[in-house]
Amino acid sequence: MEFLTTQFLLDILAIVLIDLLLAGDNAVVIALAVKSLPARERKIGITLGAGFAVALRIVLTFFAAQLLQVQFVKLIGGLLILWIAVKLLMQDAENEEGGREAANLWQAMLYIVVADITMSTDNILAIAGTSKGNVGLLVFGLGLSIPFVVFTSNLLSRIMDRFPIIVWIGAAILGRVGGEMIMTDPWVHDTFHPAKWLEYGVQVVLTVGVVAAGKILIRRTRQKKQVSS
């Protein structure tokens, strides 16, 4: 009974805090992906995106520890995150200029699913470790992430509408996440044995690099349109 009233409650509190901390990265991806959608589709995209995120986490829970040890999984995932960040920046710029129609709901869902597959493993392990094998706590932690991600995504997408600079900040955050995944891949770690300062340095470079790549590609796209017109 003491376990139920003390340790169990402490584990629940820990899971709530973990969900709050880890919902941010997923919320950034979802908010960026749905930003260019019409209002009605945006709500659908956020809800479906959060639902897919949790469904993926439930499936990946059984393989999380093994996946982290597989070479190139995090490396490829990090590169995908970088690609998605730049792609979303270009998409947002094109939509702002009226150069094409608003993003497709299914295209946004594709970005969300791909990003979440690559970003979820560490998050799952944090919740799984805290639950200590208790299935009820594990399900609680995974389920609780839905409202957290939905609320944060809604808030971020609305802020992005008012302050476009937030889009660039979100992309920069994804650049840092991608850098962290690349540098913590087992193959990269075992081959290069990077020091902590180098890991952080790569994260900084890719944070800036995503923004710089977005600006360069957007500028080139605009120049091509001017020449063709």
pLDDT digits (tens, 9 = 90+) for 14-45: 777 767 666 677 778 888 888 878 878 888 88
How is residue 118 written in tokens? Answer: 């690559």
Q: Please list, in sequence order, all residues whose beta carbon lies within 8 angstroms of the beta carbon of residue 89, skipping any fewer than 6 positions away.
A: 167, 168, 171, 210, 211, 214, 217, 218
Q: What is the pLDDT of residue 229?
A: 63
Task: Quote the pTM value.
Answer: 0.73
Query: Average pLDDT in the 171-186 region?
Result: 88
Ranges of each domain in the chain: 28-119+146-222
Mean pLDDT, rounded, of the chain:
78
Give the side-chain half-sphere CA count within 13 A for 28.
22
Q: What is the pLDDT of residue 21?
A: 61
- How many degrees, rounded to 5, is the angle at CA 99 between CA 96 and CA 103? 70
pLDDT digits (tens, 9 = 90+) for 55-90: 777 777 666 656 666 788 888 888 888 988 898 888
Greater pLDDT, 80 or 199: 199
Query: Average pLDDT in the 6-15 region?
Result: 74
Q: What is the pLDDT of residue 111?
A: 80
Q: What is the pLDDT of residue 103?
A: 59
- Residue 199: band (very low, low, confident or very high) from pLDDT cuts 50, 70, 90: very high
pLDDT digits (tens, 9 = 90+) for 88-129: 888 777 766 654 444 577 888 888 777 777 776 666 666 766
Rounded to whole angstroms, the Cα distance separating 77 from 57 reads 15
Q: What is the pLDDT of residue 208?
A: 96
Q: Is 113 helix (H, G, I), strand (E, B) or coil?
A: helix
Residue 144's nearest CA partner among 12, 43, 28 is 12
5 pLDDT more than 60: no
- Residue 202: band (very low, low, confident or very high) from pLDDT cuts 50, 70, 90: very high
Q: What is the pLDDT of residue 100?
A: 46
Greater pLDDT, 104 or 223: 223
Query: Average pLDDT in the 134-159 region?
Result: 77
Q: What is the pLDDT of residue 98?
A: 53
Rounded to whole angstroms, the Cα distance separating 30 from 50 reads 8
- Residue 1: band (very low, low, confident or very high) from pLDDT cuts 50, 70, 90: very low
Judged by phi (left if over 0) then psi (alpha if -120 to 50, else beta), residue 102 lies in beta
Task: Give the residue ranges of DSSP H helices in the chain.
Answer: 2, 8-34, 39-61, 64-69, 73-97, 105-131, 135-162, 165-183, 186-192, 196-228
